[in-house]
Structure 1
Amino acid sequence: MARKIGSRYTANQILGRGSAGTVWLGEGPDGPVAIKLLREDLASDQELVGRFVQERTALLGLEHPHIVSVRDLVVDGNDLALVMDLVRGTDLRTRLERERRLAPEAAVAIVADVADGLAAAHAAGVVHRDVKPENVLLDMQGPLGPGGAHPALLTDFGIAKLIDSPKRTRATKIIGTPDYLAPEIVEGLPPRAAVDIYALATVLYELLAGFTPFGGGHPGAVLRRHVTETVVPLPGIPDELWQLIVQCLAKAPASRLRASELAARLREQLPSLAGMAPLDVDEPDAEPGEDGPEPPAAESEREREAEDTGVVRRRGAVPLVPGAKPDSNRDTHTSMRVPGPDELAGGARGTARVPRASGVRRPGSARHRAAARRRRVTLGVAGVVLVAAIGAGAWWATSGDDAGATPRETTSSTP
Structure 2
Amino acid sequence: MARNIGSRYTAHQILGRGSAGTVWLGEGPEGPVAIKLLREDLASDQELVGRFVQERTALLGLDHPHVVAVRDLVVDGNDLALVMTLVRGTDLRTRLDRERRLAPEAAVAIIADVADGLAAAHKAQIVHRDVKPENILLDMEGPLGPGGAHPALLTDFGVAKLIDTPRRTKATKIIGTPDYLAPEIVEGLPPRAAVDIYALATVLYELLAGFTPFGGGHPGAVLRRHVTETVVPLPGIPEELWQLLVQCLAKAPASRLRASELAVRLRDLLPLLAGIPPLEVDEPGPEESEQAPGYDEQQYTPAADEPRRRGAVPLVPGSAPDSNRDTHTSMRVPAPDELAGGPLGTARAPRAPGKPRPGSARNKAASVRKRRITLGAAAVLLCAAVAVGGWLATGGGDGDGAPQDSENSAPATP
TM-score by length of 2: 0.80
Number of the residue aligned with 1:182: 182
SS at 1:281 equivalent: coil
User: What displacement does 1:320 show?
Assistant: 2.8
Kindly tell me: are residues 35 and 189 of structure 1, through their superposed partners in 2, closer, same or farther at Cα, counting changes over 3 Å?
same
Deviation digits for residues 187-223 of structure 1 (CA, Å, limit 9, x no counterpart)? 0111100000000000000000000000000000000
- The DSSP-based 3-state class of the residue aligned with 2:32 is strand
**Which position in structure 2 is the counterpart of 1:348?**
342
Match of 1:246 in 2: 246
Instruction: Measure the CA separation in 2 of the matches of 1:130 and 1:354.
Output: 21
Offset at 1:130? Answer: 0.4
Alignment of 1:263-274 (within 5 A): 263-274=263-274
Distance verdict in 2 for CA 1:121–1:354, change over 3 Å: closer
How far apart are 1:175 and its partner, in Å? Answer: 1.4
Contact 1:68/1:155 (<8 A) preserved: yes
Partner of 2:284: 284
**Equivalent-residue separation in structure 1 for 2:289 and 2:355 (angstroms):** 20
Deviates more, 1:133-142 or 1:359-368: 359-368
1:337 matches 2:332: yes
Instruction: Give the unaligned 5+ runs of structure 1.
Output: 293-315, 381-415
Structure-1 residue corresponding to 2:142: 142
The residue number in structure 2 matching 1:297 is none
Paired residues for 1:286-325 under 5 Å: 286-287=286-287, 290-291=288-289, 317-318=292-293, 320-324=295-299
- Offset from partner CA, 1:324-368 (integer Å, 9 cap, x none): 5788753432110001111111x4222114633663735877499
SS at match of 1:356: coil
User: Given residue 353 of structure 2, which amino acid in structure 1 is its aligned partner?
Assistant: G
Structure 1 residues 354 and 58: alpha-carbon distance in aligned structure 2, compared to 1, 3 A threshold: closer
Query: What per-residue deviation string (whole Å, max 9, x for no partner) do you get for residues 48-69 of structure 1?
Result: 1111011100010000000000
Aligned 8 A contact 1:321 1:339 in 2: no
User: Which of structures 1 and 2 has the larger relative contact order (alpha carbons within 8 angstroms, sep 6+)?
Assistant: 2
Take 1:60 and 1:2, find their aligned partners in 2: how far apart are those partners? Answer: 26
Structure 2, unmatched stretches of 5+, are 302-307, 311-324, 377-414
Q: What is the 5 A alignment of 1:44-83?
A: 44-83=44-83
Equivalenced residues, count = 351
Q: Is the 8 A contact 2:33 2:85 kept in 1?
A: yes
- Kindly provide the amino acid, as one letter, of the partner of residue 289 in structure 2: D
Helix, strand or coil: the match of 1:246?
helix
Per-residue displacement from partner, 1:100-141 (whole Å, max 9, x unpaired)?
Answer: 111101000000000000000000000000000000000000
2:37, 2:130 → 1: CA distance?
Answer: 18
CA distance, structure 2, for counterparts of residue 95 and residue 27 of structure 1: 27
Asked whether the 8 Å contact 1:202–1:212 carries over to 2, the reply is: yes
1:20, 1:38 within 8 Å by CA — same for their partners in 2? yes
Q: Are positions 1:14 and 2:11 aligned together? A: no
Q: Percent identity?
A: 80
Q: In structure 2, what is the Cα distance between the partners aligned to 1:13 and 1:108? A: 34
